[in-house]
Structure 1
Amino acid sequence: MSTMPPDAILDPLFLQPFVTGLAFAVLLPLLGAYLRLRDEWLAALAFAQTAAAGALLALLAGWPLQAGGVLAAAAAATLKSAFEGAARGVQGAAYAMLLVGSWGVGVLLVANLPLAERLGHALFDGQLYFTERSHLVAALVCAVVGGAALRRLSRPLLQAHFFPDFFRAAGGSARRVHLAFDLVVAAALALATMSIGVMSAFALIFLPPLVAWAWSASWRRALALAVAVGVAAYLAAFVGALWLDQPFGPVLALLLVGFGALSGLVRRLHGGR
């Protein structure tokens, strides 16, 4: 294993991928907090895996990869809306079937299409350092548009969750609000998958809110802490993976798992006193 010299981290060559990943490190934990509120983390993983399969199918059809990923994830989000109101077990089974089916499609395409092999490794390993300018533009647009959409959807989402009767009496439609939010999540995860990989995107949307949930006494504090954890882990992973010449995705995922495990341990010790 070779290592990068420390000053390589400051090379302008790595500024573009750094900003690309940073945009998702801020946005995904925010979206993940609302997913955790609704206990729909498995849907997020299904969206990310479906986006990867969609990108590979787009490669087969000669379409733009990002467009294929976003369309596939949006289709998954629309399909999810059909299970709105179903029993939690039915919803979980549907998400799991979508996840496994998308994984199967992706693996078969990688195995049978020579052109898809490199893309498949990038999607599953998280090769952030090889992203292009188009990824940067997509990430920045996604962060701005997704953040604005989340700000608009935040109040209806919270009202629909905590005060469903009041929300319905005021003329609100939980199904429409949830579909709009799911489409934002699907688009963000699809574009993140193109840049940082399936599991990295899922780790950023799931683990920072998990940590923040245990240490926050208010919703706003939970959002702020989730972003802080996501950004801190991202910075450490970006530097560490580059320095040690390792794939970015696994390093980020392991760091976030470490954050989660450490948080749980400290919380347990703190609660035992």
Structure 2
Amino acid sequence: MHLLFDPLFRVPLLVGLCASLVLPLLGALLHAREEWLAALGVSHITAACQLAGVALGIPLLASGSLGAIVAVIGKYVTAQQGNLGYVLLMFVGWAILYLVAANSSLGESLAHALSDGQIFLVGQEHLWAMLAVAVPFLGLLPWWSQRLLRARFFVGYEQANQLPAWRWHLSFDLIGALLLAFSTAALGLMASFALVVLPAWIAFSWVNRWQHALWLSLLLGVISYLLAFIIALSYDQAFAPIQVATLLVVAAIAKVLRLCIPALAH
């Protein structure tokens, strides 16, 4: 536990905490919209753009921002394909990611960093980038929740009332893509995706109120991150696999408890 308060790891801890706070909330909205698979496609595109940017001498965070814009454009281009469109984005990002890694001097090490996570090596610029996106995301969350859920469950309401729906749909997609880009650069691709998908999935199986689901998703994300951070640091392990494994264990325990509690009630 003392590792959490070591000054050497203060910035990495704060970067990961920001990600573990906002990614589960992002996941809850994506689950409600049935777009959770989009996070995987967007993460691959932003990771590929970041790696290509570094190969060309572009700073990681600048290339990540560009990657977020490219990912959002790709999402809208493939929107008619549904989940297939998100899978196509993943394939494109994956192919570019490993082709750049195979054909650049730093590509292989950076590809491993994006895959395994480089949370213990992040600096102040990562923290400022995460805060610059996380704070607006949290501020806009109530505004988005009302409008995005209404669009999901009352299809046609926006068009019938001539509402400027593009404002909340586009702003949510863009800020969500930025969060995934900066989280992927620090935590790793699959760790970020797991924080988007698993806490919200667990929360939705336990509660049936939106606000409760948000709070439970957030709590699960933060607790799993802190556990993974301590385990990876204590045993000198790559962070991303530990984060994913921790969330899978939490999900399994939650599933077993959910099955046992009704049985105990009878």
- Secondary structure in 1 aligned to 2:82? helix
Distance 1:32 1:8 in 2: 29
Kindly indicate whether the alpha-carbon contact (under 8 Å) linking 2:41 and 2:87 is maintained by their aligned counterparts in 1.
yes
Among candidates 200, 204, 208, match of residue 217 of structure 1: 208
After TM superposition, the score normalised by the length of structure 2 is 0.93
Which digits, 9 at most, give the CA deviation of each residue in 1:134-188, with x for residues without a partner? 1111112121122223333221112211223433333224454322211111010
After TM superposition, the score normalised by the length of structure 1 is 0.91
Kindly indicate whether the alpha-carbon contact (under 8 Å) linking 2:33 and 2:149 is maintained by their aligned counterparts in 1.
no
For structure 1, list consecutive stretches of 5 or more residues without a partner in the other structure: 1-5
Counterpart check, 1:27 vs 2:22: yes
Kindly indicate whether the alpha-carbon contact (under 8 Å) linking 2:148 and 2:169 is maintained by their aligned counterparts in 1.
yes
Distance 2:10 2:71 in 1: 33
Distance 1:261 1:220 in 2: 23
Distance 2:165 2:26 in 1: 17
Among candidates 93, 96, 103, match of residue 84 of structure 2: 93
Counterpart check, 1:207 vs 2:198: yes
- Secondary structure in 1 aligned to 2:37? helix
Among candidates 35, 52, 60, match of residue 47 of structure 2: 52
Distance 1:8 1:259, change over 3 A: closer
Among candidates 64, 77, 83, match of residue 69 of structure 1: 64
Among candidates 95, 108, 119, match of residue 99 of structure 2: 108
Which digits, 9 at most, give the CA deviation of each residue in 1:24-74, with x for residues without a partner? 100111111000001111110111111110001101221111121221222
Question: Percent identity over the alignment?
Answer: 38
Distance 1:8 1:268 in 2: 36
Kindly indicate whether the alpha-carbon contact (under 8 Å) linking 2:78 and 2:86 is maintained by their aligned counterparts in 1.
no
Which digits, 9 at most, give the CA deviation of each residue in 1:76-120, with x for residues without a partner? 212222344x3xxx2222211110121111112112212122211
Residue 251 of structure 2 corresponds to 260
Equivalent AA in structure 2 for residue 161 of structure 1: R
Q: Which aligned runs of 4 or more in structure 1 are off by greater than 6 angstroms? A: none
Distance 1:174 1:82 in 2: 18
Distance 1:69 1:186 in 2: 9
Residue 237 of structure 2 corresponds to 246
